[in-house]
Amino acid sequence: MLEKLEVVSQLFHGFAYEDYFSADTAQKLSLILSAEDHILGLEDGKKRFINEVTALSKAFAIAIPHEQAMDVKEEVAFFQAVKARLVKFDSTGLGRSDEEIETTIRQVIDQALVSEQVIDVFDAAGIKKPDISILSEEFLLELKGMEHKNIALEVLKKLLNDELKSGSRKNLVKSKSLMEMLENAIKKYHNKVLTAAEFMDELIKLSKEIISMDDEASELDLTEFEYAFYTAVADNKSAKELMQHDKLRELAVVLTERVKQNASIDWTIKESVRAKLKVIIKRTLRQYGYPPDMQKLATETVLKQAELIANEFTVEA
């Protein structure tokens, strides 16, 4: 256990976390944020820290109530407090076995440090959850101005990832394109192609792209579902060049209505209904003069988009 404690302690080389144990409540919160920022600034720091603290937790749970374990309980508690916040930046979170181990630890160490209270991504970053849109201009400026830059990056990366995953259930093409942009920016940052400041600018640019999705739908006077089909049929250069903007918009509206009319409960697993919808989509694309060489791909894209929002259509029907 002491070896594992030493491994975790070494990750804080150059960071005086010992100050935490004599600090008041406000100072403790500030030190935890600084500790998070320190770990996030290390090469693969978040993953390494979470893994090492998990290993330490298992060893500590076995060692208690041995005197050596009790002597280091405050250090373990501190590491757990930092880990609890870092975990919130990951989509997976804690595994069941980890939760059970940490429940055991909570029975021994300082309850105030590793509380049962759910910590969301805003608590983890030490910022107030915005009342306004999460990706608003005001909130993005607040993140950019944060003292702890590594935490700000993790918050925005997490929020964007969650937003795009949520959006991918409604708009296949747009969300896929934006997710690729996010993954590309993350890859460049990890490979040191982008600095932290440049990475933040890329994430803010992506945030504005997400916001613009709603703006574009409004400008086109399309519902959320109609806009999803619009992006599906407008996702190729030749279609945009050959067809007028208004015609693509009209095509999207007609496709939405025809898919809705022919959608039925469990249609996504009924091959006969899928085949019928495929014919309807192809016919509609031809009717509106969609480029022949792109009709097959567009049909598949529209069908996939229809599958994503199938439940909404059958509920409305």
pLDDT for 200-210, tens place per residue? Answer: 888 888 888 88
Contact 288, 250 (CB under 8 A): yes
Assessment of whether the complete model's pTM goes beyond 0.85: no
Asked which of 185, 200, 219 is the last residue of a domain, the reply is 219
Q: What is the mean pLDDT of residues 172-192?
A: 87
Q: What is the mean pLDDT of residues 276-286?
A: 92
Is residue 60 domain-shared with residue 97, that is, in the same domain?
A: yes
Rounded Cα gap, residues 181 and 237, in angstroms: 19
Number of domains composing the chain: 3
Does residue 162 belong to any structural domain of this protein? yes
Q: What is the mean pLDDT of residues 133-148?
A: 72
3-12, 166-175, 187-196, 276-285: segment of lowest average pLDDT: 166-175
Cα torsion 51, 52, 57, 59: sign: positive
Is residue 233 domain-shared with residue 283, that is, in the same domain?
A: yes
Is residue 287 domain-shared with residue 203, that is, in the same domain?
A: no
Contact 179, 65 (CB under 8 A): no
Q: What is the mean pLDDT of residues 50-61?
A: 88
Does residue 128 belong to any structural domain of this protein? no
93-102, 119-128, 140-149, 263-272: segment of lowest average pLDDT: 93-102
Question: At what angle are helices 224-233 and 172-190 packed, to 10 degrees?
Answer: 70
Does residue 130 belong to any structural domain of this protein? no
Does residue 155 belong to any structural domain of this protein? yes
Is residue 239 domain-shared with residue 266, that is, in the same domain?
A: yes
Does residue 129 belong to any structural domain of this protein? no
Is residue 23 domain-shared with residue 98, that is, in the same domain?
A: yes
Q: What is the pLDDT of residue 228?
A: 92
Rounded Cα gap, residues 228 and 217, in angstroms: 9
Give the three-state DSSP class for 136: coil
Mean pLDDT over all residues of the chain? 79
Q: Answer yes or no: is pLDDT of 242 > 60.
A: yes
Is residue 169 domain-shared with residue 203, that is, in the same domain?
A: yes
Q: Answer yes or no: is pLDDT of 5 > 50.
A: yes
Is residue 214 domain-shared with residue 237, that is, in the same domain?
A: no
Q: What is the mean pLDDT of residues 39-58?
A: 91
Asked which of 167, 199, 219 is the last residue of a domain, the reply is 219
- Higher-pLDDT residue of 317 and 49 is 49
Is residue 8 domain-shared with residue 87, that is, in the same domain?
A: yes
Domain of residue 178: give its range. 137-219
Does residue 142 belong to any structural domain of this protein? yes
Does residue 123 belong to any structural domain of this protein? no
Q: What is the pLDDT of residue 248?
A: 93
Asked which of 65, 82, 117 is the last residue of a domain, the reply is 117
Is residue 252 domain-shared with residue 176, that is, in the same domain?
A: no
Is residue 207 domain-shared with residue 233, that is, in the same domain?
A: no
* pLDDT tens digits along 91-118: 544 443 444 444 444 443 343 333 333 3
Does residue 293 belong to any structural domain of this protein? yes
Instruction: Give 108's DSSP letter.
Output: T
Q: What is the pLDDT of residue 118?
A: 35
Is residue 247 domain-shared with residue 152, that is, in the same domain?
A: no
Is residue 105 domain-shared with residue 20, that is, in the same domain?
A: yes
Q: Answer yes or no: is pLDDT of 133 > 60.
A: no
